[in-house]
Amino acid sequence: MNSRLSMLGGALALSLLVLPAHAQFNIADKLKSKVNEKIDAKINKTADQVTSGKKASSGAAKESQETAAEEAEAEVTAAAPEAKAKVWTKYDFVPGDKVLFADNLKGEENGEFPSRWDLKNGNAEVASFGGTDVIHLVSNGTAISPLMKTENYLPETFTVEMDVYFDSDNPNMAYEIYFLSDANKYNEATHGMFWDPIVISPEGVHFKNFGSNSAELEAAGTKSQWRHVSIAFNKRSMKIYLDQHRLINIPNVTGKPVNLKIKSDRRIEGNAMVKNVFIAEGGKKLYDQVLATGKIVTYGVKFDTNKAVIRPESMGTLNSIVKLMQEQPSLNFSVDGHTDTDGDDASNLKLSQQRAEAVKTYLVNQGIADSRLKAKGQGESKPLDKGTTAEAKANNRRVEFVKI
Q: How far apart are CA 96 and CA 160, in angstroms?
A: 9
What's the pLDDT score for residue 282?
86
pLDDT of residue 115 exceeding 60, the answer is: yes
Q: List pLDDT tens digits, range 284-322.
A: 789 999 999 999 999 999 999 889 999 999 999 999 999
Nearest to 261 by CA among 167, 158, 148: 148
238 compared with 305, residue with greater pLDDT: 238
3-state secondary structure of 332: coil
Q: Per mean pLDDT, which range of 74-88, 132-146, 257-271, 301-315 is the poorest?
A: 74-88
What is the pLDDT confidence band of residue 25, given thresholds at 50, 70 and 90?
Answer: very low
Confidence of residue 269 (pLDDT cuts 50, 70, 90): low
How buried is residue 328: exposed, middle or buried, by Cβ count under 10 Å (0-12/13-18/19+)? Answer: exposed
Per-residue pLDDT band at 41 (split at 50, 70, 90): low
Q: How confident is the model at residue 72 (pLDDT cuts 50, 70, 90)?
A: very low
Residue 266: band (very low, low, confident or very high) from pLDDT cuts 50, 70, 90? low
pLDDT band at 48 (very low <50, low <70, confident <90, very high): low
DSSP β-bridge partners for residue 176? 199, 263
Q: What is the 8-class DSSP label of residue 380?
A: T
The mean of the pLDDT values for the chain is: 81
For residue 189, give the H/E element and its range. helix 188-191
In whole angstroms, what is the distance from residue 195 CA to residue 253 CA? 12
Mean pLDDT throughout 265-271?
Answer: 69
Mean pLDDT of all residues in 167-190: 72
- The closest of 134, 138, 96, 93 to 119, measured between CA atoms, is 138
Q: What angle do CA 224, 226, 229 make, to 5 degrees?
A: 140
Band (pLDDT 50/70/90 cuts) for residue 57 is very low
Q: Is the pLDDT assigned to residue 267 strictly greater than 50?
A: yes
Integer CA distances (angstroms), 133 to 99, 106, 267, 299, 339, in order: 21, 8, 24, 21, 21
C-alpha span between 337 and 9 (Å, rounded) = 37
pTM for the predicted model, two decimal places:
0.75
Query: What is the rounded average pLDDT of the residues 157-185?
Result: 85
The pLDDT-based confidence of 169 (bands split at 50, 70, 90) is: confident
